[in-house]
Chain A
């Protein structure tokens, strides 16, 4: 969907380095999510945020950190503690203006184009 922009498209990380993946949406969605996809596998939830200034760990949060200072933005930092960061990272958002948080249970998620992260 054109409303979710991820950057960069490709990213290389040196050993011991932290890198930050950008995710911006102009869909006025309340909820945002980060998923990791390894080759030939499904999507695994890293972190999610239902509202500004609040976020929760997903299934594989270790070695990652996030912030949600603005409704439109949900950046993901891959820290040096993440020993196997090579993957395809997908950001998603759901919900809309006036939709209460509880309503997001049944809302479609819209994905960005992803960032492919590799180790140098």
Chain B
């Protein structure tokens, strides 16, 4: 089945700096890659997603890049703010026999220091 690895597990940056979180996946048939932000004790919220027919997608301060050949994708947050502090999860769709669900990475705890 699909395996998604996420790095780093924790990331601390100064306010205004950029943050980059990287994920790799194993199933070359995966075609959908969302990123979720989860604040403590709350539900994961979709912040951006990308499909395999696109190499990059941007939404204001957030961007995601996808390298299908290397099977990795990254989340880029620019001009970080304290409210960006949260746990971020990447995920990949699984297109194995009969299964259509997401496999999640283990998460990155981002702390933005004011």
Contact = CB atoms under 8 A, between A and B. Distances in A.
A105 B89 contact: no
Interface stretch (A11-19, A60-68, A73-81, A108-116): A108-116
B61 interface: no
Contacts, number: 59
Interface residues of A, number: 29
A33 B99 CA distance: 12
Interface residues of B, number: 25
**What DSSP secondary structure best describes chain A's contact surface?**
mixed
A56 to B, nearest CB: 7
A42 B89 contact: yes
Given A42-B106, A108-B46, A50 B89 contact: no
Interface of A: 1, 31, 33, 35, 40-45, 48, 50, 56, 58-59, 90, 101-102, 104-114
Interface of B: 1, 6, 31-32, 34, 42-46, 49, 51, 89, 93, 95, 98-107
